[in-house]
A and B are shown apart, each in its own frame.
Chain A
Amino acid sequence: MTREEIGNGSEDMVIDECEPEGRERNSVPDEFNANYLKVYYGKLFPHADIFKWMSYGNDGKHPACDQSYFSRREFSYTLDNDIYLRYQSFNSASELENSIKEKCPFKIDIGPVYSVDPAKRHAYAQTGDNVFTPVERELVFDIDITDYDDVRYCCSGADVCLDCWPLMTVAIKVIDTSLRDDFGFNHILWVFSGRRGVHCWVCDGKARRLTNEQRASIAEYFRVYKGNENSLKMVSFTGLALHPFLARSYTEVLKDFFESKLLLSQKLFSAEERYEKILEMIPDESITSELRGKWQENKRSSISKEDTNVVRWQQLKHILQSGRLKAQGLRRCVEEIVFSFTYPRIDMEVSKHMNHLLKAPFCVHPKTGRVCVPIDPNCCEEFDPTAVPTLSKLLEEMNVGALRPDVDNAEWDRTSLGKSIRFFRSSFLQPLLKSCKEEIENSYNAKLQHSKNSMSW
């Protein structure tokens, strides 16, 4: 297959509409390479939106704007050949855009806002008074489906399919609800990581100013797994009740997902080695042998029309929740099993440190070619990772779009990326910037008032 050479702009390409091979000439081989990326950065990547986001309202239009804010933000590039450039910083939107277009990084990461421009960091010490240190950074979360490999049978490793992806959906629902209802955050962006996970960016001012200790406390609040490969049970609920956050997650999301989706899609009870894993979580020999007995003899006869997995789960629940057994380890065994399979597994280290770098939204994943598009938490069940636009598809769409040149609209609007960018702007960026402006305005007025007061007699 010959690689089509693609120039810097689709205006250069001549399309002959009538030719029957027209469609093939538009098609772009499904690949990820520097040339495709160059077009992407040239025409599709939303540089200006990223700049506006990262400025958090400090666009110079208000006297209280911090002119240095954007330039103190660290970006990092991973170039072709795995060359890694840290501490990139820019003074304006155009500097950012030109740099990306020129360097064509395979991956762009966003770091914290530092006390001074990272380019000048060598002039400052690490400790003491004159310091180079992070001062603001979004609260971020990283959820990767490979962390669930012990509970998904359909795929493993880097693969993801529509049977196991719903685990991510569930994670989004649980965490998003808690971030809003419990912690009071409002400006939250969920992003597809490009292959097998999701990232979360919490951008409220309060979130950006959290210390490492405070970030760690939120991550711990979300953490439920306490075991490792050696413990039989990863999840252990002692206490006389579940914390309201966990109880809500269970009743609103996890229980139903487990019973009506995961049980069936992963066939959790269909084979001995699979149900043994669940039986291991029950600390009562008499119960486990009773169940084992039922299921071993049941292997051959499948008189019941109902799915085996559903039946066996009902049997297990029945025994565990029947009044007669209230032994310590059994009280919440059913919940423990459900949580083990379905509860979000976040990467603690990513969230705990202000200086952790995280991939920027709208990057293209080198292994899949897919764009890291935002996910709407309100309808995240509809998100399909296998249908996310790829680089080559977008380029294809651009070729087609060139048939109807529309100078008013941006290039991306004619592609499937348009939907994502519009969503990014309306659901996230605009409300965020409005809130930032208000914050800047309020603190400015407060300062004015204060200085007025101190000058009064």
Chain B
Amino acid sequence: MEIYGYQRKALHSDAISTLPLYRSAPPLDVRLEDFELFAIDRLRVLKGISDGLSRGKKPEEIDNLAKDLWKANMRHPEASEVVNKDIISHFVLRLVYCRTEDLRKWFLSMETALFRYRFRLESAEAQRALMAEFDLPYKAVSNSEFESMKDNLGQVARSIGQPLTPADTKFYTVPFEEVPELVAGRRVFVHKGHAYVAMNQVVSLVATQFRSHLSKALILTNRKWTSSIREQEKDRLTPIVEALCTSYLGPDYSEPREFAEISIRDIDQIAMSSFPLCMRHLFEKLREDHHLKHGGRMQLGLFLKGVGLKLDDALAFWKAEFSQKVGAERFDKEYAYSIRHNYGREGKRTDYTPFSCQKIISSTPGVGDHHGCPYRHFSEENLRAALGKMRVNSRAVEDVMDKVRNRHYQLACTLTFEAVHGTSCDAGINHPNQYFSESQKVVQSKSHSTV
């Protein structure tokens, strides 16, 4: 890991704050496996936050979510290593997420959200220290000064529709020219050239600084990556970095767990009740056309493996369909091999994992293809028709279409799940096999409760 710059001293060694600002890469030795593992742990936190945000959670809920995720993932057996893990994982992810505009944007948003939550938790002293690190000339308002200003501060708060609560006593003063947006909106009390900034306004400003600094750093990192690091590290770090951003981090459904193998007899019924729309569509097309192109074979085939279809049953299933179009012989010759390949019985013997939603959404189905995510790839008309066939009620269809318009495809699928099954799905769908297993849970519990 390249070392540039030396670490600033009072940052966290004094234990005033354990919230690093990631100003410069740490001069630490990192084990290669930690390089990857730490990054994955942090990625779980960021993806969890991303999930929460895209599901429209309120700020307090995001705070709790971030707290839980951080606690669950960013621990380390040695207490002294916790901060290092924090810093190292951040810098590794910088390498991963600096490489395109979209990646940078995502990383910036998640890291800033995370920073915001962690900043709010810090003690007043630690917060002041952090503000000083940003060269923000803030001064805390003493209790006595607050008392004398209380009426005015309260009035400003009421004027912007955010009345002060008894808990809101932390205010800071700063030269008014440092906070032009707040002054312009008359969102602060200004007196003798000083603006009186409330805590929540400070968090926004600090977060903005953090974000802007990280944004510039990411651009620089990208330059370094493309000009030297990627090549230098092509046998060591580069493959890890390139794999990291596409990694899906939930259960991978390569080993079907709770359910008995499904048999081909049951498959039609199960498809109707428990397949997500993407797989239903592929399944129906397969039944209709007795054929699927490669993308569809992969997406549906691996899904069925995850659902519990054994290799022999899979071969029989696909053969039954394809031979109606291409004949049994040609099936054996051209298609059987790739099915065996998917199950890890051929070639590299990699046991392929079923595709996650992220992967499916980002695929690019072409003419004659039926794979991909219908919420993304279908026209509005087709999607409405498909949802109608699944017997989703019209109100739910509108909610789904609304999510689609805002590009929240997984949320759309989750809403569909909820409409079809009549239950809520708090976890949010991010894998077709997850949809299936959740669906089966509901179906089974319903069949068990009815006598």
Query: Which residues in A have some Cβ–Cβ distance to B below 8 Å?
Result: 181-185, 206, 210-211, 213-214, 216-218, 220-221, 238-247
A-B contact pairs, 18 of them (CB 8 A): A181-B191, A181-B192, A182-B190, A183-B190, A184-B191, A184-B193, A184-B194, A206-B177, A213-B180, A217-B180, A217-B181, A217-B184, A220-B184, A221-B184, A239-B160, A241-B155, A245-B186, A245-B190
Residues facing A in B150-196 (CB within 8 A) are 152, 155-156, 158-161, 163, 176-177, 180-181, 183-186, 189-194
Contact B155 A247, beta carbon cutoff 8 Å? yes
Contact B158 A244, beta carbon cutoff 8 Å? no
Query: Which residues in B have some Cβ–Cβ distance to A below 8 Å?
Result: 152, 155-156, 158-161, 163, 176-177, 180-181, 183-186, 189-194
Chain B residues, CB < 8 A from A211 = 177
Complex CA distance for A24 and B177, rounded to whole angstroms: 57
Chain B residues, CB < 8 A from A244 = 152, 155-156, 189
Complex CA distance for A196 and B177, rounded to whole angstroms: 32
| CB of A437, distance to nearest CB on chain B (Å) | 21
**Majority secondary structure, A binding face:** helix
Q: With A183-B193, A184-B194, A221-B190 known to touch, is A241 a contact of B180 (CB < 8 Å)?
A: no
Contact B163 A240, beta carbon cutoff 8 Å? yes
Q: Which residue of B lies closest to A207 (CB)?
A: B177
Q: Given known contacts A184-B191, A185-B193, A240-B159, what 20 new A-B pairs fall within 8 Å (CB)?
A: A182-B190, A183-B176, A183-B190, A184-B193, A214-B180, A216-B184, A217-B180, A217-B184, A218-B183, A221-B186, A238-B161, A239-B158, A239-B161, A241-B159, A242-B155, A243-B159, A244-B152, A244-B156, A245-B190, A246-B186
Most chain B C-beta atoms within 10 Å of own C-beta, residue among A183, A214, A218, A243: A243
| CB of B365, distance to nearest CB on chain A (Å) | 46
Chain A residues, CB < 8 A from B181 = 217
Complex CA distance for A247 and B190, rounded to whole angstroms: 13
Q: Which residue of B lies closest to A239 (CB)?
A: B159
Complex CA distance for A181 and B176, rounded to whole angstroms: 13
The 3 closest A-B pairs by CB, nearest first: A184-B193, A217-B180, A220-B184
Q: Which residue of A lies closest to B177 (CB)?
A: A214
Chain B residues, CB < 8 A from A216 = 180, 184
Q: Which residue of A lies closest to B190 (CB)?
A: A182
Complex CA distance for A127 and B193, rounded to whole angstroms: 32
| CB of B183, distance to nearest CB on chain A (Å) | 4
Complex CA distance for A214 and B152, rounded to whole angstroms: 23
| CB of A379, distance to nearest CB on chain B (Å) | 24
Chain A residues, CB < 8 A from B190 = 182-183, 221, 245
Q: Which residue of A lies closest to B183 (CB)?
A: A217
Q: With A183-B190, A244-B155 known to touch, is A210 a contact of B177 (CB < 8 Å)?
A: yes
Complex CA distance for A183 and B193, rounded to whole angstroms: 4
Chain B residues, CB < 8 A from A183 = 176, 190, 192-193
Complex CA distance for A277 and B65, rounded to whole angstroms: 54
Number of A-B contacts (CB under 8 A): 62
Contact A240 B184, beta carbon cutoff 8 Å? no
| CB of A215, distance to nearest CB on chain B (Å) | 9
Complex CA distance for A217 and B188, rounded to whole angstroms: 12
| CB of B76, distance to nearest CB on chain A (Å) | 43
Q: Which residue of B lies closest to A224 (CB)?
A: B186
| CB of A450, distance to nearest CB on chain B (Å) | 18
Chain B residues, CB < 8 A from A243 = 155-156, 159, 186
Q: Which residue of A lies closest to B151 (CB)?
A: A244
Most chain A C-beta atoms within 10 Å of own C-beta, residue among B163, B184, B193: B184
Chain B residues, CB < 8 A from A213 = 180
| CB of A176, distance to nearest CB on chain B (Å) | 15
Complex CA distance for A240 and B163, rounded to whole angstroms: 8
Complex CA distance for A241 and B155, rounded to whole angstroms: 6
Q: Which residue of A lies closest to B191 (CB)?
A: A182
Complex CA distance for A242 and B157, rounded to whole angstroms: 10
Complex CA distance for A240 and B155, rounded to whole angstroms: 8
Q: Which residue of A lies closest to B161 (CB)?
A: A239
Most chain A C-beta atoms within 10 Å of own C-beta, residue among B155, B163, B194: B155
Complex CA distance for A246 and B192, rounded to whole angstroms: 16
Chain A residues, CB < 8 A from B155 = 241-244, 247
| CB of B34, distance to nearest CB on chain A (Å) | 43
Most chain A C-beta atoms within 10 Å of own C-beta, residue among B176, B181, B194: B176
Contact B158 A240, beta carbon cutoff 8 Å? yes
| CB of A400, distance to nearest CB on chain B (Å) | 48
| CB of B178, distance to nearest CB on chain A (Å) | 9
Complex CA distance for A181 and B189, rounded to whole angstroms: 11
| CB of B161, distance to nearest CB on chain A (Å) | 5
Chain A residues, CB < 8 A from B152 = 244
| CB of A413, distance to nearest CB on chain B (Å) | 37
| CB of B204, distance to nearest CB on chain A (Å) | 16
Chain A residues, CB < 8 A from B161 = 238-240
| CB of B141, distance to nearest CB on chain A (Å) | 16
Chain B residues, CB < 8 A from A246 = 186
| CB of A135, distance to nearest CB on chain B (Å) | 16
Complex CA distance for A395 and B152, rounded to whole angstroms: 53
Complex CA distance for A377 and B158, rounded to whole angstroms: 32
Contact B163 A206, beta carbon cutoff 8 Å? no
Chain A residues, CB < 8 A from B191 = 181-182, 184
Complex CA distance for A184 and B183, rounded to whole angstroms: 14
Complex CA distance for A184 and B192, rounded to whole angstroms: 4
Complex CA distance for A345 and B61, rounded to whole angstroms: 44
Q: Which residue of A lies closest to B180 (CB)?
A: A217
Complex CA distance for A206 and B194, rounded to whole angstroms: 13
Contact A220 B158, beta carbon cutoff 8 Å? no
Q: Which residue of A lies closest to B152 (CB)?
A: A244
Chain B residues, CB < 8 A from A238 = 161
Chain A residues, CB < 8 A from B176 = 183
Q: Which residue of A lies closest to B176 (CB)?
A: A183
Complex CA distance for A206 and B175, rounded to whole angstroms: 11
Complex CA distance for A44 and B160, rounded to whole angstroms: 52
Complex CA distance for A218 and B176, rounded to whole angstroms: 9
Chain B residues, CB < 8 A from A182 = 190-192
Complex CA distance for A369 and B161, rounded to whole angstroms: 50
Chain B residues, CB < 8 A from A206 = 177, 193
Q: With A181-B192, A221-B190 known to touch, is A241 a contact of B184 (CB < 8 Å)?
A: no
Q: Which residue of A lies closest to B179 (CB)?
A: A217
Contact B159 A220, beta carbon cutoff 8 Å? no
Chain B residues, CB < 8 A from A221 = 183-184, 186, 190
| CB of A349, distance to nearest CB on chain B (Å) | 15
Chain B residues, CB < 8 A from A239 = 158-161
Complex CA distance for A213 and B176, rounded to whole angstroms: 12
Q: Which residue of A lies closest to B175 (CB)?
A: A206
Complex CA distance for A312 and B106, rounded to whole angstroms: 60
Complex CA distance for A247 and B158, rounded to whole angstroms: 13
Complex CA distance for A12 and B185, rounded to whole angstroms: 61
Complex CA distance for A214 and B160, rounded to whole angstroms: 21
| CB of B182, distance to nearest CB on chain A (Å) | 8
Q: Which residue of A lies closest to B182 (CB)?
A: A217
Chain A residues, CB < 8 A from B183 = 217-218, 220-221
Complex CA distance for A220 and B190, rounded to whole angstroms: 14
Q: Which residue of B lies closest to A214 (CB)?
A: B177
| CB of B195, distance to nearest CB on chain A (Å) | 9
| CB of B436, distance to nearest CB on chain A (Å) | 50
Complex CA distance for A321 and B160, rounded to whole angstroms: 22
| CB of B316, distance to nearest CB on chain A (Å) | 69
Chain A residues, CB < 8 A from B160 = 239
Contact A220 B193, beta carbon cutoff 8 Å? no
Chain A residues, CB < 8 A from B156 = 243-244
| CB of A125, distance to nearest CB on chain B (Å) | 24
| CB of B57, distance to nearest CB on chain A (Å) | 27
| CB of A167, distance to nearest CB on chain B (Å) | 22
Complex CA distance for A242 and B152, rounded to whole angstroms: 10
Contact B192 A241, beta carbon cutoff 8 Å? no
Chain B residues, CB < 8 A from A181 = 191-192
Complex CA distance for A211 and B183, rounded to whole angstroms: 14
Complex CA distance for A265 and B210, rounded to whole angstroms: 56
Chain B residues, CB < 8 A from A241 = 155, 158-159
